[in-house]
Copies of this chain bind each other. A is one copy, B any other.
Amino acid sequence: MTTVRGFFLPRTASGRSSLLPDPPWHYSGDLLTVEYRTDPARVAELLPAPLDLAAEDPGAVALIWADWQSCSESGDELLDPVRSQYKECFVVVRCSFEGRTYSRCVYIWVDKDFAIARGLYQGYPKKMGSIHQTRPHPYGQAAPRIEVGARFGGTLAAADRRLAQAVVTLTGPAESNGFVNAHPMAHHRWMPAIDKVGPPALDELIESSASSFEGGPIWAGSVDVLDLFDAPTEELSRLAPNEIIGGYYRQVGVVWDGGRHLADGESGAPV
């Protein structure tokens, strides 16, 4: 009798082909964050029961660019960096579940397949996009240093359309790089029934956080540009900014090593 191995598909006798290695997953990267307030009703649209709006500042949104290297425990991916490097742009809001405040990623675009698969496992609603973010560098005039006055741009496109762009100018040290993405994530994992009409095969509310974290100095910045664009299959621009909260820049190292089941979903079949 055959035993197939591997954390994800395709599963084989050796497990070597799995699109995802076993966690823990390690990440080193740079985060460019813009926080702003939108109409809380637009946030509420994205929070199915049993989630509610966060009690305080319920319209707060974080739009985050991340330029990552990631790897498994072996670190093998780092020496074949096409399997390690990826970029993402994602939108986080907050919500409330059983009296506790959670962060929740409502939209996310990445540029590698392993990142898509990790996201589906973690409940991130990932799509492919083209994501770019200014990189700091210590030499030459083609990059900012990480210092007061440094300017960082982030752009996002998908399906050959630009969806978002932002520019942040660093103004000085900060105590946090935002409050919207600062809670454990509350995500739905979701897979429709193979017969299309039955109850979903997977509909689960899960909680997930970094299992360990380290980071460099936190920088605050002014948000000089924040544009969200409409597209036929995207609704990012419904989360229109009414008021800028702030911009942030930080270099971080993160480990992810699993989450926990919070509740069964109550979504029923696709409607």
Contacts and interface: CB of A to CB of B under 8 A. Distances in A.
Interface residues of A, number: 121
Q: Give this chain's copy count.
A: 4
A222 interface: no
Interface in A26-45: 26-30, 44-45
Given A189-B194, A206-B194, A139 B252 contact: yes
A183 interface: no
Interface string A8-22: 111111111101001
A81 B132 CA distance: 6
A28 B153 contact: no
Contact of A157 (B1, B137, B160): B160
Interface of A: 1-17, 19, 22-23, 26-30, 44-49, 51, 68-71, 75-76, 78-85, 106-107, 112-113, 116-117, 120-123, 125-128, 130, 132-135, 137-144, 151-153, 155-157, 159-162, 165, 167, 188-197, 201-202, 204, 206, 208, 214-216, 225, 232-235, 251-255, 257-261, 267, 270-271
30 contacts: A2-B48, A4-B48, A5-B271, A7-B270, A10-B125, A11-B125, A11-B188, A11-B190, A12-B46, A15-B270, A16-B232, A17-B107, A28-B137, A28-B142, A28-B143, A29-B137, A120-B191, A122-B194, A132-B160, A137-B253, A138-B251, A139-B215, A141-B253, A155-B160, A160-B162, A189-B201, A194-B258, A195-B258, A195-B260, A197-B258
